[in-house]
Amino acid sequence: MMPEHLSEFSRSPFIPISKTQASRWAGLLLFVLAGVVVITTALSLRYGIRPEASCLGIGITVAALVVMPVLAWLKRKTAWATKNCALAADAVRTPLSESIGLIG
């Protein structure tokens, strides 16, 4: 049984696809992203291109450092309310990804 506040969201006319379709699209987009990363890395290595600092990159990083803890907290809160173990695990992974991003 889905909580009422989430059942309204699932009936939204702006989300006309099923969870299965959404999962498939998310998986496909992750594979596309992985391909872009591999191609970009290979071309950078081949042509000796080095990454440079930019105001946009720094701004995105700062924004992520501010937003990610809030996102993790909201995920934990929603996971607890819906008793969703997968979302709870993702809530733990979110700050871990942030800390790895700080190291890199």
> Which residue blocks in 1-104 are alpha helix, DSSP H?
4-10, 19-47, 55-82, 85-103
pLDDT digits (tens, 9 = 90+) for 78-104: 888 888 888 888 888 877 777 776 675
State the SS3 of 45-65.
HHHCCCCCCCHHHHHHHHHHH
Nearest to 68 by CA among 36, 37, 100: 100
**Treating both helix axes as pointing N-terminal to C-terminal, what angle do 55-82 and 85-103 enclose, rounded to 10 degrees?**
160
Would you say residue 33 lies in a domain?
yes
Cα separation, 97 vs 104, in Å, equals 11
Cα separation, 60 vs 46, in Å, equals 27
Would you say residue 37 lies in a domain?
yes
pLDDT digits (tens, 9 = 90+) for 32-74: 989 998 999 999 999 998 888 899 988 988 888 888 888 888 8
Q: What is the pLDDT at residue 1?
A: 47
Residue 40 shares a structural domain with residue 76: no
**Binning pLDDT at 50, 70 and 90, where does residue 3 land?**
low
- The boundaries of the domain holding residue 104 are 54-104
Residue 46 shares a structural domain with residue 59: no
